């Protein structure tokens, strides 16, 4: 009798990189206006430019949101 369980390959689903980057780009562009607005409001409120600019804010939001879509 043959034992098929000892040499069994586990099929893992990997997210296609191209599809991930398309979603990341869409989310980044969508979050950029709001990130710019919140950055400008924080700059006016504090009277100085903050360390984290609008592009960095939008990038971090896209890095948070995109994996949530692929894990669902």
**pLDDT tens-digit readout, 34-57:** 999 999 998 888 887 767 889 999
Q: Compare 21 and 14 and report the one with higher pLDDT.
A: 21
Gap between the terminal Cα atoms of the chain: 40
3-class SS of residue 23: helix
Mean pLDDT, range 26-36, rounded to an integer:
95
Q: In the predicted model, is pLDDT for residue 15 greater than 70?
A: no
Q: In the predicted model, is pLDDT for residue 8 greater than 80?
A: no
Task: Supply the pTM of this predicted model.
Answer: 0.69
At 47 the pLDDT is: 80
């Amino acid at each position: 009798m043959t034992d098929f369980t000892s040499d069994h390959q586990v099929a893992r689903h990997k997210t296609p990189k191209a599809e991930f980057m398309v979603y990341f780009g869409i989310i980044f562009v969508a979050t950029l206006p709001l990130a710019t607005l919140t950055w400008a409001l924080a700059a006016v409120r504090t009277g100085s430019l903050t360390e984290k600019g609008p592009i960095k804010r939008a990038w971090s939001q896209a890095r948070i949101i995109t994996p949530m879509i692929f894990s669902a």
